[in-house]
Amino acid sequence: MKFGKEFASQMVPEWQAAYVDYSSLKKFLKEIHGVKQKYRQPDTPTRLQRALTLYRSFSGLDPRRNKGGSSFDDHDVENQAILVNSVRGNGSGKYETTFLMVAEEGAEYEQEFFKKLDNELNKVDKFYRSKVKEVMAEAETLTNQMHALIAFRIKVDKLQENFDVSGSNDKIMVPMNALQGTTESDNDAKQSSNGCLEIQEENPKKVVSSIRLAPQEVLNHVKLNQAIQAPFSAAKVYCASNTNKTQMNFSKDNLKKIQNQLKQAFIEFYYKLRLLKNYSFLNVLAFSKIMKKYDKITSRRASKYYMRTVDDSYIGNSDEVTKLMERVEATFIKHFSNSNRSKGMNQLRPKSKKERHSTSFGTGFFAGCTAALILALVLIIHARNILDKEGRVQYMESMFPVYSLFGFMVLHMLMHAGNIYFWRRYRVNYSFIFGFKQGTELGFREVLFLSFGLATLALISVVSNLDMEMDPKTGDYKALTELLPLSLLLLVIIVLLCPFNILYRSSRFFLLRTSFRCICAPLYKVKFQDFYLADQFTSEVQAFRSVEYYICHYGWGDFKLRQNTCKSNDIFNTFYFIVAVVPYWSRLLQCVRRFHDEKDPMQGYNGLKYFLTIVALCTRTAYGLDRGTSWKAVAWTFSAMAALYGTYWDLVVDWGLLQRRSKNRWLRDKLLIPYKSVYFGAMVLNVLLRFAWLQTVLDLSLSLHRETLIAIVASLEIIRRGIWNFFRLENEHLNNVGKFRAFKSVPLPFYNDEDEDRID
């Protein structure tokens, strides 16, 4: 692989603009190469160049010496093409290169090249310096958190031993700098740096070289994050009194939660340090590669002079990140992995996920089974002439809604697999946006494996249950085949809830946790994955109605006679409304919570969109059950308002398109897909699919069964949602890129009075 492609593949996607513009520098070199080929200049220096060299030598501008006065090579001084100076300004260094071979033909191209090169060096040096400053401040914060953790742990241990800690005179040692790595102290009292004696505790294992503070004194300076003490963060925010806010519950459970939260914070912080170190290495390597290419084209030896400047710059010479990584490793191994280095490093440096051949084989196998079963289903229907039998209408009324559930699930999974493929292709950092744990995110092959596996099982059930006539002896249908769909649904639920580490347990539990947060809205602070999943649920309304039908069809025994008496039941019709409204209601409550937390009026407007959708959905459902003229007019009005509002929100707010003054007219300034027609096509398709509900109120006389029309419209909505997903994450990714936001924020367990804004 060429270095340019390898360099681009290893970039942090959100920092792409902060890296060396390697491709642009290569274009400069191509122009210089063209000029060199045109003039075919000799490599020997001219008399003017020798005179300029002697003049600089006598005037004190000796190019053989760098900023610190160290000597360069003593030979071949005449061939030195550049002179790099460090200019101090605004408290930071700025590098400027003077091109010495100005008398040569095409020298202006080389001057522009070095000007661009200096700009890139100054850019990456400034960015790296700012990020190092950020991580140093974050390291100080984590140090304070470790102070509080150790004091909290000691307090819990004391309470477990039934000691009255508040009246004790024992002094507890907490680390002065937890990130420096702690060591167990001896049993002798030590003299501190300020002249005070450090009185040690009874248990020497608790003592570390540190400052002299009592546990209560340490804990008096901090408060415990309310999310630790209460699972429902909103309940504490709205109902807790001032007294409850300052009290701490010194329990083993809280200690475990604090340790897990700090452990996750250290892992994320270490990941940030690794990316920073890799950022430094890649950029220095890029400068080295580009200068070697320059030397090769121009037959000069400028790379050694310029690379000395790069090596002496902050990005090339700073070792703060490396030292900080060592300190984090020492602290993490001691406090979070019981001094087991192998275990600690495996947690800090999780292994990258490898593609398994078994997954690819399984995907291909189940895809082949799916295609074969679909072909077999078509041939069986044609051979038995099932479409002309009397039982087909009864089958469509009672069995088709049962099997359509699996069709919706498989279609949504296929769309998600396609999204993952294109997110990876266009370097959308979806794993960071969703907050996946490193190495646990599913690739498109894994999602295809699951979707084709489910499709295979569902089609086997369909093929086994194609009989259109009752058993003349028993007067009902075969119970075994009628129960196949229910058995398959129960299997899906069991696999989803399975606690064993099989079939991507981390992803399954992530889905369950996020679903729980959606159901409990607005009790939890809303994250991106929460409202993203809630939006997926709004496109699966018909799937939720199918689950309701399962309960009715099998709970009331209709499956024995293959009847559909559910829609004549008032309870079923009532829940037919409720089931459809719940996803939109959950999304509305999320908007309310975000409006409260962020004070952003856009969340209020977004909530209004979902409210209109709820009204439109209810009126269309009422019209579908009771086709009256009044319901038709109301359904038309609210459905049109909701569709227009939703279309505008999709294109302008969620996708960030239709910007009239952008570089790409009617799109946006930055586009990941190089073909603009894709965006215009997606906008047109989104509008058309948004208005698919028209068939429910226009009473179109199509030669299709009503259940078939419902399934088609629901499938079109899932397809629209799949398209929406890609461009929504693309826009979110570009927002992160614009803000250089490449790390998730991990809530910390403790906070001070002056920084209460850290409360999650």
DSSP track, 602-659: HHHHHHHHHHHHHHHHHHHHHHHHS--HHHHHHHHHHHHHHHHHHHHIIIIIIS---B
In a domain, 579, yes or no: yes
Identify whether residues 291 and 382 lie together within a single domain.
no
Please give the C-alpha separations between residue 259 and each of 182, 253, 371, in angstroms, as whole numbers: 17, 10, 50
Three-class SS state of 104? coil
Q: Is the pLDDT of residue 371 over 80?
A: yes
Query: Which residues contact residue 670 at a Cβ distance below 8 angstroms, ignoring those fewer than 6 apart?
Result: 734, 737
pLDDT at 349 over 80: yes
pLDDT, greater one: 756 or 406: 406
Q: What is the pLDDT of residue 167?
A: 47
How does pLDDT run across 57-80, given as a tens digit for each residue? 545 544 444 444 444 444 454 556
**Per residue in 28-67, pLDDT tens?**
889 888 887 876 645 445 555 555 554 555 455 444 444 4
Nearest CA to 301 among 30, 104, 101?
Answer: 101
Q: Residue 751 pLDDT more than 60?
A: yes
Q: Note if the bond before 522 is cis, omega within 30 degrees.
A: yes
Residue 72 lies in a domain: no
- Do 544 and 690 fall into the same domain? yes
Residue 640 is which amino acid?
Answer: A
The reply to whether 683 falls in a domain is yes
**Last-in-domain residue among 301, 334, 349:** 349
pLDDT at 231 over 50: no
Give the residue-averaged pLDDT of 344-355.
Answer: 83
Q: How confident is the model at residue 550, as a pLDDT?
A: 93
End position of a domain, from candidates 349, 371, 398: 349
- Domain shared by 440 and 341, yes or no: no
Q: What is the pLDDT of residues 116-127, one digit of tens each?
A: 999 999 999 999
d(CA 447, CA 530): 20
Token readout for 742 is 């490449």
> Same domain, yes or no, for 327 and 379?
no
- Count of domains for the chain: 2
- The highest-confidence range among 36-50, 187-201, 233-247, 319-333, by mean pLDDT, is 319-333
263, 335 Cβ separation under 8 angstroms:
no
Asked if residue 438 and residue 302 are part of one domain, the reply reads no
SS3 category, 177: coil
Provide CB contacts within 8 A for 626, sequence distance 6+: none
Tell me, yes or no, whether 257 and 155 share the same domain: yes
pLDDT number for residue 228? 58
Print the domain residue range for 483: 355-753
Q: Are residues 419 and 436 in the same domain?
A: yes
Predicted local confidence at residue 421, as pLDDT: 96
Residues in contact with 2: Cβ distance below 8 Å, sequence separation at least 6, in sequence order: none
Confidence of residue 477 (pLDDT cuts 50, 70, 90): low
Largest CA distance in the chain: 116
Q: Comparing C-alpha atoms, which of 99, 72, 213 is closest to residue 151?
A: 213
Quote the crossing angle between the two packed helices 391-398 and 400-425, to the nearest 10°: 50
Encode pLDDT of 498-522 as tens digits.
999 889 999 999 999 999 999 998 9
DSSP letter assigned to residue 523 = S
> Does residue 124 or residue 356 have the better pLDDT?
124
Q: What angle do CA 567, 573, 579 make, to 5 degrees?
A: 120
374 domain-assigned: yes
Q: Could you please report the per-residue DSSP string of 119-172?
A: HHHHHHHHHHHHHHHHHHHHHHHHHHHHHHHHHHHHHHHHHHTT--GGG----E
One domain, residues 675 and 709: yes
> Residue 378 CB: number of other CB atoms within 10 A?
10
Q: How confident is the model at residue 607 (pLDDT cuts 50, 70, 90)?
A: very high
Q: How distant, in Å, are the alpha carbons of 146, 155, 230, 451 from that of 152?
A: 10, 5, 18, 47
What's the pLDDT score for residue 199? 30
CA dihedral 73, 78, 79, 80 (to 10 degrees): 60
HSE-CB at 421 with a 13 A cutoff on CA atoms is: 13
Residues 318, 378 share a domain:
no
231-235, 351-355, 403-407 — which is least confidently predicted?
231-235
Q: Is residue 647 part of a domain?
A: yes
pTM summary value: 0.80
Q: Are residues 393 and 321 in the same domain?
A: no
Assigned domain for 271 exists:
yes
The share of the chain scoring above pLDDT 70, in percent, equals 79
- Does residue 408 register a pLDDT over 50? yes
Which residue, of 323, 349, 375, is where some domain finishes?
349
Residue indicated by tokens 């960030």? 656
Banded pLDDT at 416 (limits 50, 70, 90) = very high
Any domain includes 51: no
CA pair distance 219, 165, nearest whole angstrom:
12
Could you tell me if 391 and 494 lie in one domain? yes
Is 184 a member of any domain?
no
Average pLDDT score, the chain? 81
- The pLDDT tens digits for 245-287 are 446 778 888 888 889 999 999 999 999 999 999 999 999 999 9
Q: Look at residue 388 and give its three-state secondary structure.
A: helix
* 678, 680, 684, 686: CA torsion to nearest 10: 60
pLDDT by residue (tens digit) across 564-606? Answer: 888 888 888 889 889 999 999 999 999 999 999 999 999 999 9
Are residues 374 and 509 both part of a single domain?
Answer: yes
